[in-house]
Chain A
Amino acid sequence: MDNAWAVVGIFMIVAIVLPVAALIMARLLGPKKPSPIKQQTYECGVETVGESWVQFKAQYYVYALAFVVFEVEVVFLFPWARAYGQLPFFATLEGALFILILAVGLLYVWRKGALEWQ
């Protein structure tokens, strides 16, 4: 098995199987006395009011959007960071320009007020 990713696959499978095994063991060891009171949803000790799935605030979407933009930018930057040493100096400047363009994008989002919580 010279393929590194096969080893990673085995690693992740074991990493998932171990907690599952512990959960099964805990289920065997623990008491099982379900009662309606215990299974009720927790709301600081009072009866629950309304549905459990509250409305999604739009501000979370904005943060997720900004995250996706910068994360994809960084994913593009990983090959550049790996290889900029072997490329002519102009490639370094190009990468720097790419980052600065996205920094201007961040400034735009900032000034538009989209980064304010609530």
Chain B
Amino acid sequence: MKRVLVVDDSPSVRKMVAFVLRQGGYDVVEAGDANDAITAAGFGDVRLVITDHHLPGDDGIALIRALRSKPHCAHVPIVMLTTEAGAELKCAARAAGATAWIAKPFDPQRLLSVVDKVLS
């Protein structure tokens, strides 16, 4: 089963995303901030990262940069899942190495189709 790392500071949102992904046949690990996320990704078995932009401490873009600097995460797809949708922010995320962008609130079906697509 492919392992997905879900990063969001809101436990309820995290649970919800995790639930949708598990229903879609993925294994999920969760993290509440960038530090936890980097630790969780450190095991090298994460195949996809889904992260919020607004996080306590380092934000989502800083997290993407940090993950991209690690050899085991350099090519792992990273999906931003966030309420922000500003073009500038998307650009910054893209420059940092984000693979896809999904705006909250998201449609569960849509989330799965994006995840399926970036992992195929």
A in complex with B: no
Interface positions of A (Cβ within 8 A of B): none
